[in-house]
Amino acid sequence: MTPYESAKAHFADWNVDTEAALAALATIPISMHCWQGDDVVGFEKQTGTSGGGIQATGNHPGRATSPEQLRADLDFAYSRIPGSHRLNLHAIYLDTDETPDRDEIEFHHFASWVDWAKSQGIGLDFNPTFFAHAKADDNLTLSHPDQGIREFWIEHGKRTREIAAQMGDALGSPAINNIWVPDGYKDNPIDRMAARARLEASLDAMLETKFDKKRMLDAVESKLFGIGVEACTVGSHEFYLGYAIRNSTVLCLDMGHFHPTENVADKLSSVALSVDEILLHVSRPMRWDSDHVILQNDDILMMAQELVTSDLLGRTHIGLDFFDATISRTAAWVIGTRNMQKALLRALLLPIADLRQAEDNLDFTSRLVLTEEFKDLPFGAIWREFCDRQNVPTGQALFADLQTYQNGVSARA
Ligand code: RNT
Ligand code: ZN
């Protein structure tokens, strides 16, 4: 008996079908974020730091400094992640000799990404970039009191929607265009309502043109606070929850954008009653929105479990959002993305019918016994089988691969 066959039998004892779990996992795409590869710098000719309260810390060697390098790193990462996935691009990752400002970008500036995605069988998602720009230095963009600045960012947003739609056309899979703005105030503002009214009006203008949902989906992402905007974030959770419901957009929940003791997994079933589709930015906040690489910790396991038990996989887009510059950036992608998949696999391997029955019978003892006993089942053998079937390494082979690749990029200037 192979380790997998033995593990399969252990799970079968509890009426859990490992083959069904493996088949289900193989169909779940994860949208990997391009910005882990270069510390959210991008390829605009003029760049500074990311700004807007988001920051990669660390200076590990090997940061990708060109689209070619980033794609090479991505190729490596995808080759060590089982399954077929997506890439989430930001507008600052354009690939061109031209120097368009944010309100001048066009689809052709991203054509190389589309060609690459096509050749790799990868779907694309997209984001307007409302930070790292002189017109965002006040930490105000779509809600800026200056109409000219608002119009500049509205135009940027409109262009990203058009670009995302064309990406969706080219790849035959809708691109999510996710809107996150850094807008907020360091100290207590006098007129929160005015700022929110301006943000709402700008979003309305930006989203005025309707796109076929087969091409592009609009998503909106809330936040609690950022460095420099401690007192008020204009696009708060309540703001965007209401906006998404009234305007039928996708709602993005970033795990780092809530109070540290809030359970973001718990929000899924609540918001799913009011919005059709959810976008996740799976992240690991440590004390604040620190964007650490995700671990197989309770927060991630709970998130995956909710997606499975609340039957939300069909209308949730799983994206990642972390960036750590103190470690190998490619290893961060590979380990973080695999951790999301491992969490999903663990959820798919739970005896859900028995757990539900115990809960319905108010038999919380059985529920506890089952969840805790299941933690000891040979999950690793099932995961390994998944990787073997997809020709992706595990264990020491993975460890060696990650090191070898990092050694190869460490000499980059
Ligand atoms: C910022 C948001 C946002 C960004 C990316 C780069 O706090 O989480 O999603 O991380 O757009
Ligand atoms: Zn995010």
Residue 395 forms part of a structural domain: no
Q: What is the pLDDT of residues 193-214, one digit of tens each?
A: 999 999 999 999 999 999 999 9
Mean pLDDT of 19-29: 98
Residue 48 confidence (pLDDT): 52
| 254 CB near ligand 1 (under 6 Å) | yes
Which ligand has the nearest atom to the CA of 182? 1
Mutate to test the pocket of ligand 1, among 55, 281, 317 (most ligand atoms within 8 A of CB): 281
Identify which ligand lies nearest to the alpha carbon of 88: 1
Residue 49 has pLDDT above 60, yes or no: no
CATH label of the domain that carries residue 94: 3.20.20.150
Confidence band, pLDDT 50/70/90 cuts, at residue 54: confident
User: Which pLDDT score is estimated for 46?
Assistant: 62
124: Cβ below 6 Å to ligand 1? no
Mean pLDDT of 123-142: 97
Q: Is 73 a catalytic residue?
A: no
Å from CA of 50 to ligand 2 middle: 13
Going from the Cα of 222 to the center of ligand 2, the distance in angstroms, rounded, reads 8
Q: Indicate whether 49 belongs to any domain.
A: yes
CA of 250 to the centre of ligand 2 (A): 14
pLDDT for 76: 98
51 band by pLDDT with thresholds 50, 70 and 90: low
- Assign residue 40 a region (left: φ > 0; alpha: ψ between -120 and 50; beta: otherwise): left
The minimum-distance atom of ligand 1 relative to the CA of 221 is: 9
63 vs 56, 110, 293, CA distance in Å?
12, 21, 16
Task: Tell me which residue has its CA closest to atom 1 in ligand 1.
Answer: 54
Q: Is residue 264 part of a domain?
A: yes
> Residue 191: its pLDDT value, please?
98
Atom of ligand 1 nearest to the CA of 53: 7
- Tell me whether residue 199 is in a domain: yes
Domain holding 206, by residue range, is 29-348
**At which residue do the structure tokens 């109070």 appear?**
259
- Whether 401 is in the pocket of ligand 1, judged by its Cβ within 6 Å, is no
Number of separate domains in the chain: 1
The mean of the pLDDT values for the chain is 97
What integer pLDDT is reported at residue 267 of this predicted model? 98
Q: Is 39 a catalytic residue?
A: no
The answer as to whether 69 is a domain residue is yes
- Residues that place a CB less than 5 A from ion ligand 2: 254, 281, 321
The pLDDT score that the predictor gives to residue 55 is 81
Structure tokens at 304: 């995956």
Question: How far is Cα 10 from Cα 56, in angstroms, rounded to an integer?
Answer: 43
Mean pLDDT in residue range 341-347: 98
d(CA 242, CA 239): 6
Mean pLDDT of 389-402: 98
Q: Report the pLDDT averaged over residues 374-390.
A: 98
Q: Is the pLDDT of residue 413 over 80?
A: no
Q: Is 127 in the pocket of ligand 1 (CB under 6 A)?
A: yes
pLDDT digits (tens, 9 = 90+) for 272-290: 999 999 999 999 999 999 9
Does the beta carbon of 183 lie inside 6 Å of ligand 1? Answer: no
Q: Atom 2, ligand 1: which residue's CA is nearest?
A: 180
Instruction: Kindly indicate the confidence band of residue 318, based on its pLDDT and cuts at 50, 70 and 90.
Output: very high
Mean per-residue pLDDT for 362-370? Answer: 98
- Taking the centre of ligand 2 as the mean of its atom positions, its distance from the CA of residue 44, in whole angstroms, is 21
Closest-CA residue to 199 (of 232, 159, 164) = 232
Question: Among 251, 254, 240, which residue's Cα sits nearest to residue 290?
Answer: 254
Confidence of residue 300 (pLDDT cuts 50, 70, 90): very high
Say yes or no: CB of residue 281 within 6 Å of ligand 1.
Answer: yes
The mean per-residue pLDDT over the stretch 397-411 comes to 97
- Annotated active-site residue 221? The verdict is yes
Residue 180 near ligand 1, beta carbon < 6 Å: yes
Main-chain dihedrals φ then ψ at residue 193, nearest 5 degrees: -60, -40
70 is a domain residue:
yes
Q: In the annotation, is 281 catalytic?
A: yes
Residue 139 located in a structural domain: yes
The mean pLDDT of 356-383, rounded to a whole number, is 98
pTM to 2 decimal places: 0.97
Tokens matching residue 201? 């009006």
Would the CB of 289 count as within 6 Å of ligand 1? yes
* pLDDT above 80 for 50: no
Does a structural domain hold residue 13? no
Which is it for strands 184-185 and 232-233: parallel, antiparallel or unpaired?
antiparallel
